[in-house]
């Protein structure tokens, strides 16, 4: 394929793709039977990478009932949404985005007849009604994910209890998600779902939860049930012994303190990273840098629900970005879809325009460079369109200057993966 008249590193040129990679860059003439794509002067960039997503949960959410804002803001709204909900093939009603923590009694009052499972907006909590509890046999199980009342009965709340949903966890159709990612110019993703060993989509996928390979190993530091320091040290040491960095899920100050204390003992490995680093007090910045950690942040959360988060946390400590970069910590943006805004161009704008913790703002250029950085987060920084690079590219309608002034998914004209147009 020959891509003609595109902007690459600030100049107008042509780019030839061969065998799935960038072959030549310069003033080029079409070859016999070569596909030609006219770029019209638009900027040609390496494909974007979303560094933290949950593909299966995202696909499932697309076919679930929305139980949170803006459609649902009170109990009556929720009652009406559940009453209109169409059960899935197994007869269950599945809701996502709920902003309340409801027990079985509360859900029974809203919808008592069919099994209901609602996922809290944060993703770690499932809420079940009594019918659902009985169908899953939770009243006869002893599992730390099952919250129990004083009398030992399940309350209906499951904390990180996806494994208890059993037969309900069918792999969803990922093609709508893959198509959406391609439309935004995303050619690679890092899936952060624990225990996930295989995913098939258009995009290239790095699996943090896989038991195989060399990708960073996901370690969830549960904010509702913190592990012991000794157990966390052992988990980190085991991953490092297999030459795997760790990707530690940190949402609270306590989780961050525990992660850093464990690294003090276990030592660091190049490629170790913090997922979210949602709360980083000032004292944590230098300690993160000292361990050489990467940070994968989510600026979109603050645009989506920053005021709610800032009620209980110092605004400047939330989802730090600018201060981490200034301290030399490699920091890249991501979506955490479906739990945060998924459109990367909206996330870039959110990083620039954040109101909560204004000092943490970064430019669209900086956020874009984060999305252009390969999934394994090399310290060399963002990828470039150059001979020999992978033919994973995104062609936009406008110049880079126009894009940086107003990032917009509508500017994406074509997305190319492995030298093949997928959008």
Is the separation of the CB atoms in 190 and 49 below 8 Å? yes
User: Per-residue pLDDT for 121 more than 80?
Assistant: yes
**107-120 per-position pLDDT tens digit:** 999 988 899 999 99
Express each pLDDT in 273-312 by its tens digit: 999 999 999 999 999 999 999 999 999 999 888 788 888 8
Class for the domain spanning 1-47+384-423: mainly beta
Distance of CA 29 to the CA centre of its chain: 41
CATH fold, domain 64-168, is Diaminopimelate Epimerase; Chain A, domain 1 (3.10.310)
Count CB neighbours of 12 within 10 A.
Answer: 13
Q: What CATH architecture is 49-54+173-382?
A: Alpha-Beta Barrel (3.20)
Q: What DSSP string describes 210-227?
A: -SSSSSPEEEE--SSSPP
Contact 259, 272 (CB under 8 A): no
pLDDT of the residue at 305: 81
Tokens standing for residue 269: 């490995």
pLDDT in tens, 399-413: 999 999 999 999 999
Res 223: pLDDT: 86
Mean pLDDT, to the nearest integer, of 355-366?
A: 96
For residue 167, pLDDT beyond 70: no
DSSP 8-state secondary structure symbol assigned to residue 285: H
In the chain, CATH 3.10.310.70 sits at 64-168
Q: pTM here? A: 0.91
Among 172-176, 242-246, 388-392, the least confident range: 172-176
pLDDT confidence of residue 169 = 67
Backbone dihedral angles phi then psi of residue 95, each to the nearest 5 degrees:
-120, 150
Domain with CATH 3.20.20.140 in the chain: 49-54+173-382
The pLDDT value recorded for residue 70 is 85
Query: For the chain, what is the largest distance between any 2 Cα atoms, rounded to a whole number of angstroms?
Result: 78
Band of pLDDT at residue 320, cut at 50, 70 and 90:
very high
pLDDT of res. 90: 81
Per the listing, tokens 């390969």 go with: 374
Q: How far apart are CA 398 and CA 86, in angstroms?
A: 43
The rounded distance, in Å, linking the Cα atoms of 303 and 360 is 13
Q: Do 104 and 112 contact (CB within 8 A), yes or no?
A: no
Give me 307's structure tokens: 């005021």
- Give pLDDT, residue 71: 85
Which residue is listed with tokens 């919808």? 111
* Helix, strand, or coil (residue 122): coil
Cα→Cα distances 371→285, 327, 368, Å: 22, 20, 5
Helix axes 175-183, 55-62, angle to 10 degrees: 100
> Which residues make Cβ contacts (< 8 Å) with residue 140, sequence separation at least 6?
none
pLDDT digits (tens, 9 = 90+) for 190-237: 999 998 999 999 999 999 999 989 999 999 999 888 999 999 999 999
Where is pLDDT greater, at 345 or 73? 345
**Angle between helix 253-266 and helix 229-241 axes, rounded to 10 deg:** 50
Instruction: For residue 378, give the H/E element and its range.
Output: none
pLDDT digits (tens, 9 = 90+) for 25-48: 999 999 999 999 999 999 999 999
CA distance 319 to 217: 22
What totals of helices (H) and strands (E) does the chain contain, helices first?
A: 13, 22
The residue whose two tokens read 């012991």 is: 228
Question: What CA–CA distances, in Å, run from 148 to 66, 138, 176?
Answer: 27, 10, 37
- Range(s) within the chain of domains with CATH label 2.30.40.10: 1-47+384-423
d(C-alpha 96, C-alpha 115), whole Å = 15
Distance CA 247, CA 201 (A): 22
Q: What is the mean pLDDT of residues 62-75?
A: 89
Task: Provide the mean pLDDT of the chain.
Answer: 94
């Amino acid at each position: 394929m020959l891509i003609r008249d595109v902007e690459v590193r600030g100049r107008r040129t042509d780019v030839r793709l061969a065998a799935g990679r960038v072959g030549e860059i310069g003033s080029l003439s079409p070859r016999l039977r070569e596909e030609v794509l006219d770029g019209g002067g638009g900027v040609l960039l390496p494909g974007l990478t979303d560094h933290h997503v949950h593909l299966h949960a995202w696909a499932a959410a697309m076919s679930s009932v929305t139980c949170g804002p803006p459609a649902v803001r009170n109990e009556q709204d929720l009652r009406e949404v559940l009453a209109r909900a169409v059960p899935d093939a197994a007869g269950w009603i599945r809701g996502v985005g709920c902003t309340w923590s409801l027990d079985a009694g509360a859900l029974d009052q809203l919808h008592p007849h069919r099994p209901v499972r609602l996922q809290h907006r944060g993703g770690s909590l499932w809420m079940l009604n009594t019918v659902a509890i009985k169908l899953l046999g939770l009243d006869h199980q002893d599992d730390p994910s099952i919250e129990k009342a004083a009398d030992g009965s399940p309350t209906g709340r499951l904390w990180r209890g996806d494994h208890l949903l059993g037969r309900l966890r069918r792999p969803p159709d990922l093609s709508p998600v893959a198509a959406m990612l391609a439309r935004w110019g995303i050619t690679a993703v890092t899936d952060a779902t624990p225990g996930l060993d295989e995913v098939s989509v258009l995009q290239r996928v790095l699996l943090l939860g896989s038991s195989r390979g060399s990708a960073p190993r996901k370690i969830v530091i549960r904010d509702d049930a913190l592990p012991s320091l000794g157990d966390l040290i052992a988990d980190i040491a085991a991953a490092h012994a297999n030459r795997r960095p760790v990707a530690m899920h940190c949402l609270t100050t306590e989780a961050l303190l525990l992660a850093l204390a464990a690294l003090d003992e276990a030592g660091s490995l190049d490629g170790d990273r913090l997922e979210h680093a949602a709360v980083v007090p000032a004292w944590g910045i230098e300690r993160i840098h000292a361990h050489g950690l990467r940070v994968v942040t989510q600026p979109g959360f603050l645009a989506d629900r920053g005021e709610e988060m800032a009620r209980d946390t110092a605004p400047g400590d939330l989802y730090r970005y600018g201060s981490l970069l200034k301290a030399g910590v490699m920091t890249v943006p991501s979506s955490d879809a479906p739990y945060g805004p998924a459109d990367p161009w909206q996330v870039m704008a959110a990083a620039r325009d954040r109101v909560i913790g204004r000092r943490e703002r970064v430019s669209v250029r900086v956020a874009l460079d984060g999305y252009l950085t390969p999934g394994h987060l090399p310290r060399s920084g963002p990828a470039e369109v150059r001979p020999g690079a992978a033919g994973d590219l995104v062609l936009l309608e406008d110049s880079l200057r126009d894009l940086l002034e107003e990032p917009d998914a509508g500017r994406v004209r074509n997305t190319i993966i492995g030298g093949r147009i997928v959008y």
